[in-house]
Each structure stands twice: as C-alpha cells, then as structure tokens.
C-alpha cells in the first residue's frame, strides 16, 4: 500500500512539474520524508497525505483508488499479479489489465527447474504464439522437434502446429509469451 500511494504522489508531482522541494514547501513536510514516502520506504499519516493531496490538487480519496481503474492500458511492475500457478512448475503473470477486451494475450512465465527426462506432451490450439526468452534455457517443442532457446532468442509460430515448452535445467527460465487470439488453457 505504501508503494502504491508513494508512486501516485510521485507520478502526480512529476506531471505537475514540481520538485520535491516545491512539494516540501507547500506541505511543510521534509524533502527526505517525501522522497522515502514516494519510494514506499515509509508510511504516511492521513493528515500528511491530506496536505500532499491539497498541494497536488486532488482529493484524498485519489490515493486509495485502484490504479487499474485510472489507466487500464498501463500496468506498473508493482501491480503485476500472479494469474496462475501450475503443478508442473510454472507461474503465469498477465502483462495487461484488459485480458477480456483484447485479441492478444501477453504473459510473463516463470518456468521452474525440472530435470526430468520425460518428453513434453505437445498440443495444438487456435491462433499464433510468440515467445521471447529473458532468462535461462527454454526447451521449445514444435511439431515434435526440440529447440533450445537462450536469452534474447525468440520464436513465432502457428499455434495449430502441435507444440509445448519446458525447462530441463536446474535454473529458472523466464520468458514472455504472447498468444493471439488470447488463449488461457495452457
């Protein structure tokens, strides 16, 4: 909660081209305190937040509203929420606030280590898929052929071709996956 309030204060302050010094002078709060509050390192009392709200020209309730309602097209890194955790060892984060309203579904996937020699079950589905590896070595199976993808590597293919991905290393693999149209049953 502290980081949400602090980031809103900073965003408002910057949009109004105010420095920390300017805000400090208008609120009688120290520059050091304001800086820590903007970074989520300290809590802020309601009366102090009320002074900040007045100086920034917003209602106090602004700091307690859901940021996703204000700007649906923007998803801040600290707003990212876990969408799904699978038994097979991966965690999925949606990289959008508007999952149901778009054709494309961008996701961050963290694939946990799995040293198993089991072959991956491949499956087709409607659409197309794009993968970009951020960290680790991803094993991608497309039409029963294995490919090892390293950080910076990408793949773009028709999802109607049987495919799947796995992690056969002892380190986490992180990658961006974009499905079009949005596909949820992975």
Average pLDDT value for the chain: 84
Output the pLDDT for position 68. 46
Give tens-digit pLDDT for 125-175. Answer: 888 999 999 999 999 999 989 999 999 999 999 999 999 999 999 999 999
d(CA 35, CA 180): 42
Residue 116: pLDDT over 70:
no
What's the chain's Rg over C-alpha atoms? 22
d(CA 5, CA 27): 16
Q: Quick check: helix, strand or coil at residue 7?
A: helix
* Domains assigned to the chain: 2-70 (1.10.260.40), 80-180 (2.60.120.10)
Give tens-digit pLDDT for 78-112. Answer: 777 777 777 668 888 888 877 666 788 899 999 98
Give which of 140, 174, 173 is closest to 157, Cα–Cα.
140
| Other C-beta atoms lying within 10 Å of the C-beta of residue 123 | 11
- Confidence (pTM): 0.59
């Amino acid at each position: 909660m502290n980081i949400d309030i602090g980031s809103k204060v900073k965003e408002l302050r910057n949009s109004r081209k105010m420095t920390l010094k300017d805000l400090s002078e208008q609120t009688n709060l120290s520059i050091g305190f304001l800086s820590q509050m903007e970074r989520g390192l300290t809590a802020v009392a309601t009366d102090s937040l009320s002074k900040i709200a007045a100086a920034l020209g917003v209602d106090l309730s602004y700091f307690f509203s859901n940021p996703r309602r204000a700007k649906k097209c923007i998803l801040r890194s600290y707003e990212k929420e876990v969408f799904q955790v699978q038994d097979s060892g991966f965690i999925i984060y949606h990289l959008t606030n508007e999952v149901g309203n778009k054709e494309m579904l961008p996701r961050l996937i963290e694939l946990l280590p799995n040293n198993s020699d089991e072959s991956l079950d491949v499956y087709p589905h409607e659409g197309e898929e794009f993968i970009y590896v951020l960290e680790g070595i991803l094993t991608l199976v497309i039409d029963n052929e294995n490919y090892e993808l390293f950080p910076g590597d990408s793949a773009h293919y028709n999802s109607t071709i049987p495919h799947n991905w796995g992690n056969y290393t002892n380190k986490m693999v992180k990658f961006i996956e974009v499905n079009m149209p949005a596909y949820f049953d992975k």
